[in-house]
Structure 1
Amino acid sequence: MLHGVDTSGAHGAEEAMKRLWKESGATEENPQPYLKTVLCRIVSVSGVLREVVAEEVKLKLVTLPATAGDDEKAKERTILKQLLKAIGSRKPQLVGYNSHNADVPIIVQRAIVHGLFSQGMGERPNKPWEGVDYFATSGDHNVDLAPMVGRWGQTPRLHEIATLSGIPGKVDTEGGFVSDLWLQGKLQDILDYNEFDAITTHLLWARIAHFAGLLSSEAYEREQVLVRELLDDEIEKGKKHFIRYLEEWDRLLALTKKRD
């Protein structure tokens, strides 16, 4: 729509993406430059829901769409409506890596493109202390781990700080390859990749929370056990890609023990 590209036909989507990259400064050395979030389509959202019930921590993996194969559930509009409804009704604390610059802006921008109601996520209190505000530059409702561990040129990539901490970073694929997977019709591979990232982000959050004194050493160890139990449960449900995640986690932990 933006550049007048005909997206019909077998190669319509590919031609549209090539035009987006071209208009965003593509070069021979960098044929797929980073696109503004408003130009990107959300094809999957994944996260770890952490709840404390009667002092007991419970973890649940949530992915939209749950599996590939259902065209209706895979629509961006459907994914966004479910996500906005969940955030607006539950008002959870959001935790991400570079989420202030990427995750929240793309959710807002693409929801506006689709003409959706925020379901409460977009509400802002008159005063910071009077309610949940996901757009405040400070506060605990939208926690971005990236600026907590670095600034500017010293901000590590998620893959870097996770791997050095003994946590799987990017396993088998990276974010830059997601567009190729989409053009090849491999939505399930993207879902698997997003779920890996969700688990990695949660493990890194727990490590940072431990460093900050928000989790005791015992609570931090327990959190890691809970993640392993979650992965085991997901494998039992048929998500065999988590076997690869556990293998990489064990490999990295073995290396950190040698280092220590």
Structure 2
Amino acid sequence: MVPILVFDIETIPDVAGLRNLNDLPEALSDDEVAELAFQQRRAQSGNEFLPHYLHKVVTISCAFRSDAGFKVFSLAAPELEEGAIIQRFFDGLERLTPVLVSWNGGGFDLPVLHYRGLMNGISAPRYWDQGEGDFSDSREFKWNNYVSRYHSRHTDLMDLLALFQARASAPLDAMAKLMGFPGKVGMAGNLVWPTWQKGEYAKIRDYCETDVVNTYLVYNRFRLMRGELSREQADAEEALIRTTLQETPGAHWQEFLAEWPVRSV
């Protein structure tokens, strides 16, 4: 099978960048710098969501499905610096050329990785290949690559299911729960920064990992809907994920499974 890589990122405000762009004194704490940026953003746009390029990547979590099975893993700070997190992610694409799957990856995750990759001097020729690279199958990438919106080498499920209409988009948490999956467990995106400030880094990683499993489960149903999988194959895929999580250490997986009841036949 063609390997499938579902990914999600978690970010915090780029405090160093904010200091640089706004010429802020070192006497201000990281929390004060971030709060100033949030206040400016609220005044400009009515919400405190910072521009993509001011999001510092602290975690990339992946759910990886291949002939070898299903596994979940993370590239995360503080064990890795931002540049190493992003480079290792793109190195995986370089080696494996998987199908990428995300929820709003085209609207958020990938643009952030583009900007932060530039800032960190990242190399990602496979990802940017549009038919002109040195790979043996580069010509195929002219018609199906990672960066063109309507190509399937990257499937942004949120965007595709909404038929590329922002007003029709749905949140992952709601869709997962409506389909009988756990949805977000233990955290939400707006809590990442305060959680980081407390030094509770593992909570951020765990939260991101449960998000990619939710996304994979929704993608599995999408593959059923478009005829790529039979009902029996889709059910077997869910069973594989459940079994894998049962055998994977981590309190977040026990909590996730507790919120995912077995469907009665």
TM-score with structure 2 length normalisation? 0.82
Higher fraction of strand: 2
**Residue in 2 that maps onto 1:166:** 180
Length, aligned pairs only: 237
**Residue in 1 that maps onto 2:216:** 202
Once residues 71 and 211 of structure 2 are traced to their aligned partners in structure 1, the CA distance between those partners, rounded to angstroms, is 14
Q: Is the 8 A contact 1:7 1:15 kept in 2?
A: no
**Residue in 1 that maps onto 2:17:** none
Instruction: Write the deviation string for residues 39-64 of structure 1: whole angstroms up to 9, x where unpaired.
Output: 101100111111136xxxx1111211
Within the candidate set 184, 195, 220, 2:198 is matched to 184
Query: What are structure 1's unaligned runs of at least 5 residues?
Result: none
Once residues 64 and 153 of structure 2 are traced to their aligned partners in structure 1, the CA distance between those partners, rounded to angstroms, is 14
Within the candidate set 92, 107, 123, 1:86 is matched to 92
Q: Structure 1 pair 232/180, CA: closer, same or farther in 2 (3 Å)?
A: same
**Residue in 1 that maps onto 2:14:** none
Q: Structure 1 pair 178/4, CA: closer, same or farther in 2 (3 Å)?
A: same
**Residue in 1 that maps onto 2:33:** 16
Q: Is the 8 A contact 1:48 1:61 kept in 2?
A: yes
Which amino acid letter does the alignment assign opposite residue 23 of structure 2?
G
**Residue in 1 that maps onto 2:255:** 244
**Residue in 2 that maps onto 1:130:** 140
RMSD: 2.3
Once residues 26 and 249 of structure 1 are traced to their aligned partners in structure 2, the CA distance between those partners, rounded to angstroms, is 41
Q: Structure 1 pair 218/183, CA: closer, same or farther in 2 (3 Å)?
A: same
**Residue in 2 that maps onto 1:43:** 58
Partner secondary structure for residue 247 of structure 2: helix
Shift of 1:129: 5.9
Which amino acid letter does the alignment assign opposite residue 148 of structure 2?
A
Higher relative contact order (CA 8 A, sep 6+): 2
**Residue in 2 that maps onto 1:3:** 22
Partner secondary structure for residue 107 of structure 2: coil
1:204-243 mapped onto 2 (5 Å cutoff): 204-235=218-249, 239-243=250-254
Once residues 26 and 189 of structure 1 are traced to their aligned partners in structure 2, the CA distance between those partners, rounded to angstroms, is 31
Identity of aligned residues (%): 24
Query: What are structure 2's unaligned runs of at least 5 residues?
Result: 1-19
Instruction: Write the deviation string for residues 58-86 of structure 1: whole angstroms up to 9, x where unpaired.
Output: 11112113xx7xx4x33111111111111
Q: Structure 1 pair 98/7, CA: closer, same or farther in 2 (3 Å)?
A: farther
Which amino acid letter does the alignment assign opposite residue 103 of structure 2?
Y
Once residues 227 and 249 of structure 1 are traced to their aligned partners in structure 2, the CA distance between those partners, rounded to angstroms, is 11
Moved over 3 A (4+): 126-129
Once residues 167 and 234 of structure 2 are traced to their aligned partners in structure 1, the CA distance between those partners, rounded to angstroms, is 29
TM-score with structure 1 length normalisation? 0.83
